[in-house]
Amino acid sequence: MKEELDKDIDQEIEPREMNPTEYRLLTLLFNFFRFPDGITLSSLRKIMEGFYDNENRDSDRRKLSRDIEELGALGFHIKYYPQKNGKDFVYVLVKDPLSKTLEFTEGELREISALLLRGYSEAPKYELYTAARKIFAGDLEYFPEMNETPEESSEELGETAFQILEALKNHTPIRIKYYKTFPEDSYTKEADPIRLIRKGGQDHYLLAYDREEKAKKRFVLPKILSVELLQGDPLYQARGAKKETEEDLIIHAGLFPVHEPKNVVWICKEEGLVKAKLFLTGIKYTEEKNKLSFQSTNLEGLLPFLWRWPDAIETVLPEELNSVFRNSVKQISELYEKV
């Protein structure tokens, strides 16, 4: 065996001295290994004097960028992040995501699959379905054996979610049992499913064509109590006057067509900026430091954020939104006083 391996060794490659560029790249790479938290250009100019010592700092920055591209081509990827002072960048060697792997035992896979199925039964969500497919890659060998009656099995697997996904895949009409406020006030709808819409990773909607009203509707996914697949071809055709528009994908209450578009400005506190941006998912906004500017056609749709995080924003414009907020708080206070 050893002799066979020796035969495969390429004898034609001979060692040679490194040229200046290769020496600089190797030295740069070793310094990134020495400083895993990152290095600034200023620091490199000190510790690699002779390589990056041009009087023109921008010239050294361009040289470093070229060197980083060369290392990237060799498999060593480096990212840069701006410093708070805005005058320098921190260059960080990206750790190889494949260097660490996870291995699961058969028992662990069974437990994971059981938790996924339990999640489906409690609150059917598209992420649970996609997570199962990604983890098990279509191999159901480790899914728990289901010995319950068909009714129990249907509940455990989250039949509603599976039926919707099946209908979307095969363009099959459906009859759904749906409610808006209370499950006991549910009603049925026949519709042609079009697509699933996700807002902020938490709220999920089914965009479907209402066969009775001949219009596209958005149904909150957890409020669909049951799904029945229907025979026949769908009435909805994704073209002409019925084709999807940007309005069909609007799921943010701040964009519901209640009034004319109004300019809104939120100047956020630093700790509240991320919360505000997450809330505005689905609304196009411009960002300038801690200032978020956007348009809203339903100012009342912005109230949930102001109720929950009133201290996250320093300034709110227009004044009309402040007035709407104050009136809503007053009404809530009066309702609590009556309770």
For residue 333, give the CATH number of its domain.
Answer: 3.30.70
Structure tokens at 252: 């943010």
User: What string of H, E and C letters represents the secondary structure of 49-114?
Assistant: CCCCCCCCHHHHHHHHHHHHHHHHHCCCCEEEEECCCCCCEEEEECCCHHHCCCCCCHHHHHHHHH
Q: Are 227 and 172 in contact (CB under 8 A)?
A: no
For residue 208, pLDDT over 50 is answered with yes
Q: Looking at the structure, do residues 89 and 110 belong to the same domain, yes or no?
A: no
Q: Looking at the structure, do residues 219 and 162 belong to the same domain, yes or no?
A: yes
For residue 144, pLDDT over 50 is answered with no
Section 140-152 average pLDDT: 44
Residue 7 lies in a domain: no
Q: Looking at the structure, do residues 192 and 263 belong to the same domain, yes or no?
A: no
Residue type, 77: H
Q: Looking at the structure, do residues 166 and 207 belong to the same domain, yes or no?
A: yes
Q: Looking at the structure, do residues 267 and 307 belong to the same domain, yes or no?
A: yes
For residue 210, pLDDT over 50 is answered with yes
Residue 321: the pLDDT is: 92
3-state secondary structure of 122: helix
Q: Looking at the structure, do residues 259 and 334 belong to the same domain, yes or no?
A: yes
Least confident interval from 13-17, 29-33, 171-175, 280-284 = 13-17
Residue 251: the pLDDT is: 67
| pLDDT-derived band at 20, boundaries 50, 70, 90 | confident
Distance set, CA 158 to CA 117, 191, 227, 246, 334 (Å): 8, 20, 11, 30, 42
Domain count, the chain: 4
Q: Looking at the structure, do residues 333 and 259 belong to the same domain, yes or no?
A: yes
For residue 91, pLDDT over 80 is answered with yes
Residue 241 lies in a domain: no
Residue 101 lies in a domain: no
Q: Looking at the structure, do residues 184 and 228 belong to the same domain, yes or no?
A: yes
Residue with tokens 């100012």: 299
Q: How far does Cα 45 stand from its chain's mean position? A: 39
Section 99-108 average pLDDT: 67
pTM of the full predicted structure? 0.38
| pLDDT-derived band at 263, boundaries 50, 70, 90 | very high
Model confidence pLDDT, tens digit, residues 304-336: 888 888 888 999 999 999 999 998 888 877 776
| pLDDT-derived band at 156, boundaries 50, 70, 90 | very low
User: What is the CATH number for 194?
Assistant: 2.30.30.100
Q: What CA–CA distance (Å, rounded) separates 232 from 211?
A: 13
Q: Looking at the structure, do residues 265 and 320 belong to the same domain, yes or no?
A: yes
Residue 163 lies in a domain: yes
Residue 243 lies in a domain: no
Terminal CA-to-CA distance of the chain, rounded, Å? 86
Q: What CA–CA distance (Å, rounded) separates 93 from 223?
A: 47
- Domain end point (choices 142, 168, 201): 142
Residue 10 lies in a domain: no
Boundaries of domain holding 59: 20-93
Residue 9 lies in a domain: no
Residue 292: the pLDDT is: 93
Residue 99 lies in a domain: no
Section 196-201 average pLDDT: 63
Residue with tokens 């007053």: 330
Higher pLDDT, 221 or 148: 221
Section 291-311 average pLDDT: 89
What's phi and psi for 194, nearest 5 deg?
-110, -55
For residue 131, pLDDT over 80 is answered with no
Q: Looking at the structure, do residues 122 and 66 belong to the same domain, yes or no?
A: no
Residue with tokens 């749906």: 178
Q: Looking at the structure, do residues 276 and 328 belong to the same domain, yes or no?
A: yes
